[in-house]
Amino acid sequence: MKEVADLVSKRATLAGTGLDFDGGPIDADVVIVLGGDGTLISAARSMGDNQLPLIGVNFGKLGFLTPFSLKELIEHFDEVVATDAPTTKRTMLHAKVERAQDNSEFESLCFNDCVIQAGPPFRMISLAVELDGRRLTQLDGDGLIVCTPTGSTAHNMSAGGPIVLAEVDGMVMTPLNPHSLTHRPIVINADGKIAVELTQANAGTTAIIDGQVQCPLREGDRVHIRAADLRASIVLNPQSAKWQSLVSKLHWGVTE
């Protein structure tokens, strides 16, 4: 931590002043995120419309989204904080809940996913799913995951959904334990607009944003999900190959 503080203090314009992760102005060139994947996800979502390049330094366990170790950040510091540092742009989602009971609304950006999930007493829930204003299906089961390509390696992958290259311009819909053999994950264009109405819910049914923010849902509520108008920007580790995290951290395709 002290090494990072010393480096940043030598480049004062990096930190700037008036950092505000509540949607206000952020007077900085880049944001150095010290933590795990969850910390980086929270930082990207909290910056709202003021997206800046994120330098993720892994202090957590897996570190799938945080490409730098502390040693690598120190080694490549001048390169990765430069204005022309290589970055990857990541699709984010915008989720809006329209509550039937009082006409109130809840809105949030999503870096990884928006998950509509059955809660206590954990009986099957029913979802009427629309795509681009047209009925797509009636889904009975434990819920539905709508994720970004970045989020495809999170809850989506655990639920049997596809791994999608992070730079792909699209979204994934993955049913959670559907009460049907015909419901399968699908990938749709990023300009698609998804609407989900809860036709049957439990007392604990919830919309979960990035595994971090929760919004209770009731029967009749509608959840609208689309690609956000902005993208997150993550600074790449110049030492890492494109698929390195997938192979080294998730052991994709490893045969030995």
Highest mean pLDDT among 5-14, 45-54, 223-232: 223-232
One domain, residues 48 and 129: no
Distance (Å, rounded) from C-alpha 110 to C-alpha 201? 23
One domain, residues 101 and 214: yes
Q: Is residue 253 in some structural domain?
A: no
In the chain, the percentage of residues whose pLDDT exceeds 70 is 86
Q: Is the pLDDT assigned to residue 255 strictly greater than 80?
A: no
From 6, 27, 37, 229, active-site residue: 37
114 alpha carbon, distance to own chain's centre: 8
One domain, residues 81 and 97: no
Q: Is residue 116 in some structural domain?
A: yes
132-172 pLDDT, tens digit per residue, is 999 999 999 999 999 999 999 999 999 999 999 988 999 99
Q: Is the pLDDT assigned to residue 184 strictly greater than 90?
A: yes
134 or 246: which leads in pLDDT: 134
One domain, residues 33 and 119: no
DSSP 3-state assignment of 13?
helix
Q: Is residue 254 in some structural domain?
A: no
Q: Is the pLDDT assigned to residue 198 strictly greater than 50?
A: yes
Q: Is residue 255 in some structural domain?
A: no
Q: Are 161 and 179 in contact (CB under 8 A)?
A: no
Q: Is the pLDDT assigned to residue 197 strictly greater than 70?
A: yes
Q: Is the pLDDT assigned to residue 74 strictly greater than 80?
A: yes
One domain, residues 27 and 12: yes
Q: What is the pLDDT of residue 16?
A: 36
One domain, residues 11 and 61: yes
Highest mean pLDDT among 72-81, 212-221, 239-248: 212-221
Assign residue 73 the CATH number of its domain: 3.40.50.10330
254 secondary structure, DSSP code: -
Nearest-CA neighbor of 164 among 142, 140, 188? 188
Strands (DSSP E) contained in 60-112 are 87-98, 105-110
Q: Is residue 256 in some structural domain?
A: no
One domain, residues 44 and 165: no
One domain, residues 16 and 77: yes
One domain, residues 187 and 60: no
Q: Which of 50-54, 191-195, 217-221, 241-245 is the least confident region?
A: 241-245
Residues in the chain: 256
Given pLDDT bands bounded at 50, 70 and 90, which one contains residue 230?
very high
37 is catalytic: yes
- Domain with 172 in it: 92-229
Q: Which residues neighbour 156 within 8 Å (Cβ) at sequence distance 6 or greater?
A: 113, 145, 147, 162, 172, 174, 185
Q: Are 27 and 12 in contact (CB under 8 A)?
A: no
Q: Which residues neighbour 9 within 8 Å (Cβ) at sequence distance 6 or greater?
A: none
Q: Is the pLDDT assigned to residue 19 strictly greater than 60?
A: no
Nearest-CA neighbor of 255 among 210, 108, 247, 160? 247
One domain, residues 108 and 225: yes
Q: Is the pLDDT assigned to residue 32 strictly greater than 50?
A: yes
Assign residue 125 the CATH number of its domain: 2.60.200.30
Distance (Å, rounded) from C-alpha 30 to C-alpha 232? 12
One domain, residues 97 and 180: yes
Q: What is the pLDDT of residue 18?
A: 38
One domain, residues 149 and 198: yes
Q: Is the pLDDT assigned to residue 11 strictly greater than 60?
A: no
Nearest-CA neighbor of 111 among 175, 79, 62, 66? 66
Q: What is the pLDDT of residue 140?
A: 98
Domain total for the chain? 2
